[in-house]
Amino acid sequence: MASITSEIASSSSLPKWEYDVFLSFRGEDTRNNFTDHLYAALDRKGISTFKDDERLEKGTTISTELLNAIEKSKFAIIVLSRNYATSSWCLDELVKIVECKEKAGLGVLPVFYGVDPSDVRKQTGSFAEAFAKHELMKNEEKLQSRRAALTQVANLSGWDTRNEKESTIIEEIVRKLIDGLHYSHSVREDLVGIQSRVEEMKNLYLSMGLNDVHFIGIWGMGGIGKTTIAQILYDRICYRFAGSSFLENVRERSQNDGLVSLQKQLLSDVLFEKNIDISNVQRGINLIRNRLCHKRVLVILDDVDQPKQLEALVGKQSWFGRGSVIIIITRNQHLLITHEVVEEKIYKPEILNFDEALKLFSLKAFKQDNPLKGYEVLSKEFVYYAQGLPLALKVLGSFMFRRNLDAWESVLGRLKETPKRDIMDVLQISFDGLETTEKQIFLDIACFFKGMTKDRVANVLRTPHYKPIIEIDVLVEKYLIIISNGTLWMHDLIQELGKEIVRRESPDEPGERSRLWLKQDILRVLKDNEGTKKVEGIFINTPSKEEDLNIEEKVEDLNIEEKVEDLNAETFSEMRNLRLLKICKVGLPQGLNSLSSDLRLMDWHECPLKFMPKNFSPDKLVELIMPRSLIKQLWEGNWSLEWLRIIDLRDSRELIMILDFARVPNLEKLILKGCTNLSTIHASLGDLKHLILLDLNNCKCLKSLPDKISWESLEIFNLSGCSKLKKFPEIVGNMSRLLELYLDETAIEDLPSSMEQLTGLIKLDLTNCEKLSSLPRVIFSLASLSTLTLSGCSKLHKMQENLGNLKGLKELDMSGTGLCSLTRLNIRNCNLQAVPSDIGCLSSLEELDLSGNNFVFIPESINQLSKLRKFWVENCKSLQLLPELQLMSSFIQVWANGCTSLESLLPVKMKEEDSSCSLYLLNCFQFVENQGPCDLFTRMLREYFQELFYRESTIKGRFEVVIPGSEVPNWFRHQSVGASINLEVLPYLFKQFRGIALCAVFGPHQHRRHYHRDYVLLSCYFKANGKGFRFIPFVCFSEIDRVESDRRWFMYLVPDCFIKIYASTEFLHQIADGSSCQLEIEFKPFDPSVMEIKKCGAHVIYEEEMEDLIHSLGQRERGSSIIPNNEVVDHFEEDIKIKRSRDDENGGSSTHIPPPKTKRVRPSNGE
């Protein structure tokens, strides 16, 4: 058999692939369980996976798309399940996978999901049945190729779910794949000298204990490769942790976006959650500390320069679980020392040696490891000037690419003119070689746009004739900028070069420079009217979200605003070429006479203007951003604003009128949140085809919207807090791109049925819609909806009971609704990530089905559902804990079959006299493994005995449990192999009867046929002296074909329940006559050809042995092997026989079961 390691190794020769993994599986068998969990695990680790979901599987012929996906994948994982071979689609996938394995080295990893590899190899068992049907198509060649493919795959080493836990198998698969993929993802040709440094860092990490939290520093000068080393190390070790996060450019991002944005990313990365709500830095600190304190995580912070960044993100070791590693990259060694990073945990990368430097330079200049012939000497001289710094070598090498010898000598001559040139002079050589337009864009990015998206910058800098995409690409090729996840970045040294070039334009007169970014320079130019036609851009960076800052940060970062500077009306009159303007909070007591008609970006926070200057021509404007302004109305006139993409007037409370939107046909974002005086919006708004974001949050006077909307590009629509808005518009046409719709705290009374057009909707918020009385049925057919919030909808009295069509549902909030009369709620298979914490408000609920969801725990408020009788949590694969069930209703059934992560279950509390409980835990293997020698039934039995014995309880119900296991516990007095057991009950012994415990071990029949039912049905029959019987049925809804091993059915019948069973038989009469009774108990499956009873047991409980049982079962819970002493019962029976004659004299027997005569004092140790 080929090894898994060799499968991974053999795939290394593959050409460049599009997908890391292709998943082949039978949807009906594993889509909603193993395959779904495997896919999620791969996705969390960044492994690109092609999963052929349901929408592709149509017909019997495999699609070209799937065949191409297999060819473009590096690995294929085949989940071979019972019905895999019944699908022609799956078999054709398999044939293609084997073909690619042989021809292209595709790595193949098989998983045998509940099937014997020999059945796959030989096509026996269920695979034989499948091929019997395929033979009807009479295509022998295809049949043979399918059989050969199955045989070949079955001969590979893989994983067998019958022998290992699914979670363990998934972890192993992910680890194997990362081992096989990491070198391909992280090793690039230009990473010269990096590998040895990464190994040094890796050895530093591996030398540390795995039980401690480690803070590690990487310290060195700019451009030496600190971030690159950390990125590669991250790729290689991240899979070893429960979660990981690489926070790039912490210094830059904390200045521009605030620390909260970094906290959100950290938690989102580590917890695999989106839309994490953090209102301020302190809240973020609390969340990080509380949610990560038990997780083993890897966190890397890149370019840290302030203590407050560390304090907000990785404050203390106690914030993280044991074995966590926190790596801090900085140029400031003192920062590491003050954060208690010890000297031996600080890594200091060395500059490249001469050979490494020459190789890196050659890769950039010649695209090969060594210089071309004739360039050897010149190359070595360039390397000398780069001083072993990787950044300088890359920039110089990229600049010299494809230049002739004359150019090389010319550039080298310039370097030699000033022998003591620093690194800035070396980097400027590359800038000087740019075209004029490229230089201008480079300077714009260096001074203003670092950290912005490429698309946004290209839009802002566009002209009527072109969009500067090519120029940006040239800057990337010259290694002057980097594009990461669509965002423009540049190294700090290169950014400083750009700013220095602008300073040199006029060292002493900032008004003569093209770009201004320093606050003191900007204030001088604006206040003293020093601006000239040379000024093209003015930028004062302000934090993007005020709530992201602590009070201390506001004082430090916004001190320019402590005093509002008054400007005169002619401030901008001489700046006729001004293209980019970003300022905030200045006074204009005389108004403003003019603005440049070349403006593309106008970002003016708290603008004091009520109206735009009359001579301002905005036809080149791309973004208009004026939050908290005093503007009443935008410009008048018929300007064509076809370039305008963004209008942001949030919190402009004086705004009463907005423009005719027909003049802005390409508008993408309209933000009017907090415009509290805006009452109407032009009807033309409904026709904007390119609108992506519409935010009208808290427009309290807004009464109406366009009657019809057709926003085919809209993704987010926010009407939160529009308290006077009563009607939601009709949706005309396709709006499938809408992802989030916020209607909370509006006066909307109903929703149109046209909401069925919102097929891509993920989030719908209807919080506190107090006039909403019903929801259209189409809401519950939105398969993509993951978050539905109905809290505070006090008039909402009715709702569809079955939410099963909401396949994507993850969050549901129904607190404060009028749904108190709801009796049934089905949220099965909705991918719910969390059960609403206040689900207890549904006070009339009798049946609750949460099966097939992804939540980890169930809130304790479920105990407020006093009428709950049936509760399903089957196949909730992530569920770890069931809460304590306080049985207020007389009877409850709990189905938790298939909860493979379930670790514990708190005791069931039987409060009422007639309380009864049934717990079904088929396939909950983790639960059985964790509880050790104590099983759930034992715990419940002991709890019941304590209630009865120490508190004189009169509980009359019954309880039963179904859990994995193949043995009758040895404390059961009567045991038998097979399905029946006999025992003798004496009449005087029956007077002390307190109940009977039963156990049946059942499992699949060895030669069972395919079972067409989706439930297991067992019954328990009782006979007294061969006459009269009653049966107690056990019905467990489950996928019987998944029941591959034995299970145990435990039941405990209390006396009153036992009497009810025999009320119509001669049983009690026989005891009353003083006759002994032979009691026969028999367990029967509904279909003996599918399920069989293998063993059974019974134990009659008498009052006199109860205290001994409590003690013995307590020892059992603590791990002791002590079992109840059966001699207690033997001696008790002898005492009964001796006393029998005495009782006869006093009137015989009675069918009444007396309670215990004296109240016991409960021991102090809890027993």
Report yes or no: 418 and 389 within 8 Å, Cβ to Cβ. no
Joined tokens for residue 485:
């996840």
Tell me the C-alpha to C-alpha distance, in Å, between residue 1101 and each of 131, 509, 766, 945, 1023: 54, 99, 55, 10, 19
Q: Which of 18, 65, 71, 93 is the catalytic position?
A: 93
Quick check: 705 and 729 in contact, CB under 8 A? yes
> What are the helix (H) ranges across 537-693?
551-557
- By three-state DSSP, how is residue 9 classified? helix
Place of tokens 């302030």: 306
Strand order in the sheet with 1077-1085: 980-985, 1077-1085, 1015-1024, 1027-1037
Angle (CA) 256 257 259, round 5°: 115
What distance in Å separates the CA atoms of residue 1105 and residue 945, rounded to the nearest whole number? 11
Backbone region of residue 829 per phi and psi (left: phi > 0; alpha: psi in -120 to 50; beta: other values): left
DSSP class of 451? T
Q: b vs e for 356-388, b when ≥16 Cβ sit within 10 Å of the residue's Cβ?
A: bbbbbbbbbbbeeeebeeebeebbeebbebbeb
Q: Which residues of 696-707 are buried (b: 16+ CB within 10 A; e: fewer)?
A: bbbbbebeebbe
DSSP H or E stretch at residue 605: strand 601-605
Q: Assign 982 to helix, strand or coil.
A: strand
- Residue 1075 has phi, psi (to 5 degrees) of -90, 150
Are the CB atoms for 98 and 3 separated by under 8 Å? Answer: no
Q: If you write DSSP's letter for every residue of 797-853 in order, what string do you get?
A: ----SB-TT-TT--EEE-TTSSGGG--EEE-TTS--SB--TTGGG-TT--EEE-TT-
3-state helix, strand, coil in the chain (%, to 5): 35, 20, 45
Q: 49-51 and 916-920 as β-strands: parallel, antiparallel, unpaired?
A: unpaired
**Secondary structure in 3-state letters for 1082-1151:** EEEECCCCCEEEEEEEEEEEEHHHHHHHHHHHHHHHCCCCCCCCCHHHHHHHHHHHHHHHHHHHCCCCCC
The structure tokens listed for 886 are 């306080």
- Kindly state the DSSP code that residue 663 receives in the 8-state scheme: G
What distances in angstroms separate CA 901 from CA 30, 39, 306, 346, 926, one per listed residue?
17, 17, 42, 39, 6
Which residue do the tokens 């978050």 mark? 787
Cα separation, 816 vs 531, whole angstroms:
59
As a whole number of angstroms, the distance between CA 376 and CA 372 comes to: 7
Q: For residues 873 and 879, is the Cβ–Cβ distance under 8 A?
A: yes
Catalytic residue at 530? no
Q: Token pair 């890796």 is at which residue?
A: 202
Q: Where are the beta strands (DSSP E) in 405-547?
A: 482-484, 487-489, 515-516, 537-539
Query: Edge to edge, what strands does the sheet with 19-25 contain?
Result: 49-51, 19-25, 73-80, 107-112, 159-160
Contact 380, 357 (CB under 8 A): no
Count CB neighbours of 521 within 10 A.
18
Scan for tokens 């800098």, then name that residue: 461
State how far the Cα of 702 lies from the Cα of 678, in Å rounded to an integer. Answer: 6
Active site residues: 93
